[in-house]
């Protein structure tokens, strides 16, 4: 785009004789009117102007006016304003005439404006003004706006006023302004009346236009209309009517810009502003703009003083959903704002224990050694024949819980009791179910992170590696699953012989159906050490029909940072394999497992086990004991022999006592009762002796049953034999009960009298348990029974075939039995005596 200079020459105009007479050609005023550069904005202004011309909207017509203001102001210069008006006047005069002619040609206001534009261009270019007819023809080019249509009115044909020192535009505006003058008292009556009519019409047009303009959003338009409608002076000041000469050039050279006074700022409409902003992405604004501070996204700490110990006044509940909501697993569960300040008073009053987070109070020392030969797997993997064997022997165990939503699957849940995990298949409860430990563990593991996983390996000072908690665990909450390779016993033995023969630690645990979990390649649970006072327990559960083992928190729960432990409870089988226990508990047994051949310690251990077995919870422990013991047993026994470990029977001393008591009680109460009842009692008594076998106590047996050797010996082999024999005894003892012979009867009577001493009475021997064993074959019970029989029905008693014991002794002398036994025997004797007397 080139800058064009329009030269306004006043020399060669024939219609300006005065000017030529006054001024020489040298004096010719030549003004370099720098035209506006055709910037995109300007070009748009042109375009929009054209468009506006094409538009039929009155608003646009009004806006067009403002566009033209721009154009006019851009085309003027200050120098032009300073030019003596006289010089221009001749030309202006001709223009004036032209204007008048135009006015006469009854053109509308818009056509007049068009004509002005044409004149202006002709002035600039120095060309002759077109004829009015030509202009009239040009009018065809002017779009018919409402204004132009409504302006087709006769124009005043008043004589040309004398030329004044006004610009062409001012002159034109004067013509227009005259139209605006509604009430001009100076007007002649005729012209006034005409003008009034005309003016009034035009005025209405202008008013209409101004109304439209008032509605327009342009600030400039509003201002102008507001002023223009008031009086003529104001109208003359309107920007649209300002002489172009006064309008500053839009673009100037830097020098000109510096010298020239600050051009009056153009009023800019909002739309223009947005355009400008789009065009010029003002860099200084960006510089000034203060840098917005970048806030780091808030990160919630997942562990702290009270991690996993959300405050609650309610007692701990079994329901998993409630517990999990209470304990929370991090920031996600914190849906409410923290408690208000005064809520702390409750804490002060009630107090609450806490522990420092594990990584603060007990951080792992730097350079913590890591277990080398640990291949990790978090799933059970069947190896070799294990899978097929397991499938073949698989029992389809089905269990459906009957819990309802109110209770959830709490500790009374049938599935829970049987160590069956609830799922959608066997439990109709959804999230309310509290018996989905393994599924909870799965979610935790999936979430990841130290807190969710909850455990980590540590190196202990004297027990190799161990495991500690990274968080607190609720009582009975699942902690970690014990996983590894599931192998058959055969495979286990092979490994023990070939692979692990030099190992110090074995990670073998009895699992299910004679399968073994070998956690040499397994989960972190394999590092959990033994303790005689453990805080966890190992449990076997059936999950979706498959057995799985996991470590659960004990009844006291687990605090953050504690080392996890459970009772291995194994039987070493051999003294060689006994390991020293370094658990440090007050009640430490001293070895890993029960002390062998320790009379004081052993029953104690047995007592603990049986005590635990009495309650459902301890039933779990009993189960643990089995699994844990098997694990240890495997690891220990296979060191010495490759033979499969033998199952050790747990002895139940409690049952012995109760069995004896039962018998005695029945025997005592049997006084005066029928024979049938007695015989039943006898049979029961015989039966009841079977549990006592486990106590390694030889209990008296009824002769008919004596065919069956119901003796219990301390050695395991004999116990097994007895086990085989025992089932037959009760049936036989009842059905083959014979009546005592006459001789026996005699002896019993004599015994009852206490007169006849028993011949060749041998001294009772003490057995290993310390109980004196009588050399008799017939027990006290049998004798008592026989005595009772004879007392009740002597005839029958006589015919009874109760075999007399080869070696008998007075019941009173049988010191080895308990006092209750003695009493019972005495009672029996008394009964017999009484019966005899009455007879």
Tell me which residues touch ligand SAM (CB under 6 A). 463-466, 505, 507, 526-527, 529-531, 579, 581-583
Nearer of residues 238 and 582 to ligand SAM, judged by Cβ: 582
Nearer of residues 353 and 462 to ligand SAM, judged by Cβ: 462
Nearer of residues 114 and 526 to ligand SAM, judged by Cβ: 526
Least Å distance, CB 504 to ligand SAM, is: 6
Least Å distance, CB 578 to ligand SAM, is: 11
Q: Taking a C-beta distance cutoff of 8 angstroms, is the pair 685, 696 a contact?
A: no
Dig out the tokens for 526 from the structure: 């394999």
Nearer of residues 375 and 677 to ligand SAM, judged by Cβ: 375
Q: Taking a C-beta distance cutoff of 8 angstroms, is the pair 799, 675 a contact?
A: no
Which segments of 239-386 are extended strands (E)?
375-376, 381-382
DSSP code of residue 563? B
Least Å distance, CB 464 to ligand SAM, is: 2
Phi, psi (degrees; rounded to nearest 5) at 681: -60, -40
| H or E element, residue 565 | strand 565-566
* Sign of the Cα pseudo-torsion (401, 405, 409, 412, in order): negative
Q: Taking a C-beta distance cutoff of 8 angstroms, is the pair 28, 11 a contact?
A: yes
Nearer of residues 581 and 786 to ligand SAM, judged by Cβ: 581
CA-nearest of 804, 796, 781 to 674 is 796
Least Å distance, CB 572 to ligand SAM, is: 11
- Residue 132's contacts (CB-CB under 8 Å, 6 or more residues apart) are 98, 101, 102, 105
CA-nearest of 412, 391, 580 to 488 is 391
Rounded distance, CA 183 to CA 201, Å?
A: 13
Nearer of residues 455 and 817 to ligand SAM, judged by Cβ: 455
| H or E element, residue 478 | strand 478-482
Phi, psi (degrees; rounded to nearest 5) at 361: -80, -25
Nearer of residues 444 and 463 to ligand SAM, judged by Cβ: 463
Least Å distance, CB 531 to ligand SAM, is: 6
Three-state DSSP class for residue 767:
coil
* Sign of the Cα pseudo-torsion (599, 604, 609, 613, in order): positive
Least Å distance, CB 551 to ligand SAM, is: 12
Least Å distance, CB 592 to ligand SAM, is: 6
SS (H, E, C) 690-755: HHHHHHCCCCCECHHHHCCCCCCCCCHHHHHHHHHHCCHHHHHHHHCCCCCCHHHHHHHHHHHHCC
Rounded distance, CA 673 to CA 676, Å?
A: 8
Rounded distance, CA 819 to CA 831, Å?
A: 18
Give the β-pairing of 565-566 and 529-530.
parallel
Nearer of residues 247 and 492 to ligand SAM, judged by Cβ: 492
The DSSP secondary structure of 773-812, one letter per residue, reads EPS-SB-HHHHHHHHHHHHH-HHHHHH--PPPPSS---GG
Nearer of residues 492 and 705 to ligand SAM, judged by Cβ: 492
SS (H, E, C) 101-170: HHHHCCCCHHHHHHHHHHHHHHHHHCCCCCCHHHHHHHHHHCCCCHHHHHCCCCCCCCCCCCCCCCCHHH
Nearer of residues 371 and 754 to ligand SAM, judged by Cβ: 371
Nearer of residues 343 and 505 to ligand SAM, judged by Cβ: 505
Nearer of residues 248 and 572 to ligand SAM, judged by Cβ: 572
* Sign of the Cα pseudo-torsion (419, 333, 442, 507, in order): negative
Least Å distance, CB 301 to ligand SAM, is: 32
The residue to which tokens 């608003």 are assigned: 59
Q: Which residue is nearest to ligand SAM (CB)?
A: 464
Nearer of residues 463 and 792 to ligand SAM, judged by Cβ: 463
Least Å distance, CB 436 to ligand SAM, is: 28
| H or E element, residue 655 | helix 653-669
Least Å distance, CB 565 to ligand SAM, is: 7
Nearer of residues 241 and 634 to ligand SAM, judged by Cβ: 634
The DSSP secondary structure of 347-388, one letter per residue, reads HHHH-------HHHHSPPPTT----SS-EE-SS-EE-TTHHH
CA-nearest of 558, 557, 540 to 549 is 540
Nearer of residues 583 and 605 to ligand SAM, judged by Cβ: 583
Least Å distance, CB 566 to ligand SAM, is: 10
Least Å distance, CB 511 to ligand SAM, is: 15
- Residue 670's contacts (CB-CB under 8 Å, 6 or more residues apart) are 677, 678, 681, 788
Least Å distance, CB 584 to ligand SAM, is: 8
First CA to last CA distance, the chain: 153
Rounded distance, CA 417 to CA 419, Å?
A: 6
| H or E element, residue 550 | strand 546-553
Rounded distance, CA 170 to CA 165, Å?
A: 9
Nearer of residues 526 and 652 to ligand SAM, judged by Cβ: 526
Least Å distance, CB 534 to ligand SAM, is: 10
Least Å distance, CB 461 to ligand SAM, is: 11
Least Å distance, CB 537 to ligand SAM, is: 15
Nearer of residues 212 and 527 to ligand SAM, judged by Cβ: 527
Least Å distance, CB 529 to ligand SAM, is: 3
Nearer of residues 493 and 563 to ligand SAM, judged by Cβ: 563
Least Å distance, CB 355 to ligand SAM, is: 23
- Residue 139's contacts (CB-CB under 8 Å, 6 or more residues apart) are 107, 111, 114
Rounded distance, CA 470 to CA 559, Å?
A: 9
């Amino acid at each position: 785009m080139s800058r064009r200079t329009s030269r306004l020459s006043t020399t060669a105009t024939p219609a300006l004789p005065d000017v030529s007479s006054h001024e020489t050609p040298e004096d010719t005023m030549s003004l370099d009117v720098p035209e506006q550069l055709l910037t995109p904005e300007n070009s748009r202004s042109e375009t929009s102007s054209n468009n506006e011309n094409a538009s039929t909207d009155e608003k646009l017509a009004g806006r067009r006016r403002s566009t033209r203001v721009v154009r006019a102001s851009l085309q003027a210069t200050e120098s032009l304003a300073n030019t003596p008006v006289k010089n221009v006047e001749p030309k202006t005069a001709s223009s004036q005439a032209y204007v008048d002619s135009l006015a006469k040609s009854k053109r509308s206001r818009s056509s007049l404006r068009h004509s002005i534009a044409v004149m202006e261009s002709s002035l600039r270019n120095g060309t002759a003004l077109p004829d009015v007819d030509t202009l009239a023809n040009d009018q065809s080019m002017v779009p018919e706006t409402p204004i132009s249509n409504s302006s087709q009115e006769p124009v005043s044909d008043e004589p040309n006023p004398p030329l004044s020192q006004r610009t062409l535009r001012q002159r034109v505006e004067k013509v227009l302004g005259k139209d605006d003058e509604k009430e001009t008292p100076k007007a002649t009556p005729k012209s006034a009346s005409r003008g009034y009519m005309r003016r009034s019409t035009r005025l209405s047009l202008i008013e209409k236009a101004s109304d439209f303009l008032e509605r327009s959003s342009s600030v400039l338009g509003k201002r102008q209309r507001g002023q223009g409608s008031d009086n003529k002076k104001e109208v003359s000041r309107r920007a649209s009517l300002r002489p172009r000469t006064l309008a500053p050039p839009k673009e100037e050279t830097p020098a000109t810009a510096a010298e020239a006074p600050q051009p009056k700022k153009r009023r800019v409409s909002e739309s223009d502003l947005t355009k400008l902003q789009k065009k010029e992405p003002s860099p200084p604004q960006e510089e000034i703009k203060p840098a917005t501070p970048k806030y780091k996204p808030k990160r919630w700490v997942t562990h702290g003083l009270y991690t996993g110990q959300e405050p609650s006044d309610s007692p701990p509940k079994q329901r998993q959903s409630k517990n999990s909501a209470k304990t929370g697993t991090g920031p996600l569960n914190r849906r409410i704002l923290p408690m208000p300040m005064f809520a702390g008073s409750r804490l002060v009053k009630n107090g609450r224990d806490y522990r420092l987070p594990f990584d603060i109070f007990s951080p792992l020392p730097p350079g913590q050694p890591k277990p080398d030969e640990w291949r990790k797997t978090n799933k059970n993997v069947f190896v070799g024949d294990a899978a097929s064997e397991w499938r073949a022997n698989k029992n389809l165990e089905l269990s459906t819980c009957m819990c309802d939503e109110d209770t959830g699957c709490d500790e009374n849940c049938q599935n829970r009791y049987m160590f069956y995990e609830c799922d959608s298949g066997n439990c109709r409860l959804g999230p309310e179910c509290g018996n989905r430990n393994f599924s909870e563990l799965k979610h935790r593991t999936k979430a990841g992170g130290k807190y969710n996983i909850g455990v980590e390996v540590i190196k202990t000072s004297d027990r190799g590696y161990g495991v500690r908690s990274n968080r607190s665990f609720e009582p009975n909450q699942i902690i970690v699953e014990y996983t590894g390779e599931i192998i058959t016993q055969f495979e286990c033995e092979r490994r023990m012989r070939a692979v692990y023969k030099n190992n110090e630690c074995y990670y073998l645990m009895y699992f299910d159906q004679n399968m073994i979990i070998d956690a040499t390649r397994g989960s972190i649970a394999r590092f959990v050490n033994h303790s005689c006072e453990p805080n966890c327990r190992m449990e076997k559960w059936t999950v979706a029909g498959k057995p799985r083992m996991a470590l659960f928190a004990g009844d006291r729960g687990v605090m953050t940072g504690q080392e996890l432990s459970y009772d291995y409870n194994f039987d070493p089988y051999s003294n060689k394999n006994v390991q020293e226990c370094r658990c440090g508990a007050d009640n430490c047994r001293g070895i890993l497992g029960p002390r062998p051949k320790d009379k004081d310690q052993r029953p104690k251990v047995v007592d603990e086990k049986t005590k635990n077995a009495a309650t459902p919870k301890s039933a779990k422990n009993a189960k643990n004991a089995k699994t844990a013991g098997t694990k240890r047993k495997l690891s220990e026994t296979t060191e010495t022999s490759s033979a499969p470990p033998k199952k050790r029977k747990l002895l139940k001393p409690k049952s012995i006592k109760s069995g004896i008591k039962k018998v005695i009680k029945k025997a005592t109460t049997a006084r005066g009762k029928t024979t049938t009842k007695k015989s039943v009692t006898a049979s029961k008594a015989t039966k009841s002796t079977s549990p006592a076998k486990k106590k390694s106590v030889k209990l008296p047996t009824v002769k008919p049953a004596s065919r069956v050797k119901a003796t219990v010996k301390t050695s395991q082999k004999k116990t097994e034999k007895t086990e085989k024999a025992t089932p037959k005894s009760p049936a036989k003892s009842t059905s083959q009960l014979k009546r005592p012979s006459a001789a026996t009867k005699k002896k019993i009577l004599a015994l009852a009298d206490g007169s006849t001493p028993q011949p060749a009475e041998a001294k009772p021997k003490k057995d290993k348990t310390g109980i004196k064993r009588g050399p008799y074959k017939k027990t006290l019970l049998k004798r008592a029974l026989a005595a009772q029989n004879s007392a009740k029905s002597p005839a029958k008693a006589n015919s009874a075939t109760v075999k007399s014991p080869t070696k008998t002794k007075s019941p009173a002398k049988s010191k080895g039995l308990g006092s209750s036994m003695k009493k019972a025997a005495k009672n029996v004797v008394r009964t017999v005596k009484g019966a005899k007397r009455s007879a």
